[in-house]
Amino acid sequence: MIWNEILCLGDSITYGARDEFGRSPPVELAKILTEKTGEVYVCHNHGISGETSSDLLRRSWSACKSNSNAFIGLLMIGTNDTQANIPLDIYEDNLRQIINMMKIHKMHVIIATLPQLGFTPIYYKNCGMISEYNKVIRKVAKDMSCDICDMSNTEKYYIDGVHYTHEGTLVLAKKWAEAIITSRT
């Protein structure tokens, strides 16, 4: 049997918080890739609700090391950084360090842009920062030769202005699958 492993790093969106069936983008991505390729895909979900890029940076080495058979690493982080008001230069450095760890573990890295936030009181104050964080994501991806998964136009699937319905979970997984299939791997 041929199988492939993918490491998925992120926050509650990666985790699949609020999906009404308890599913997640990594679970759906594994299913999509297995169906498309005839090979078995396992997506290790290292999404933790509420995490910022600084939180993820602290645990990235162990996540990469514990999934050393993964040749693809997916990264989607930053939504909670807006709430914590993480400065752009700190966010950029966090991304660079996380990506370096993934590359040290020989992963092809694909980084997702952040969807615009819907109306939600928790993020209201800094929701405009998403556009600025996306500029950083695009710059870092270019500088570090990473592919990008564009998550724009997924906002209509929000359940609460941040998290996704199951239909939205499927849309995110399809976007990840497309990015993997068309990547430079």
Q: What is the dihedral of CA 96, 52, 44, 69, to 10 degrees?
A: 20
What is the sign of the dihedral through the CA atoms of 51, 27, 184 and 116? negative
pLDDT tens by residue, 57-80: 999 999 999 999 999 999 999 999
Q: What is the pLDDT of residues 140-182, one digit of tens each?
A: 999 999 999 999 999 999 998 889 999 999 999 999 999 999 9
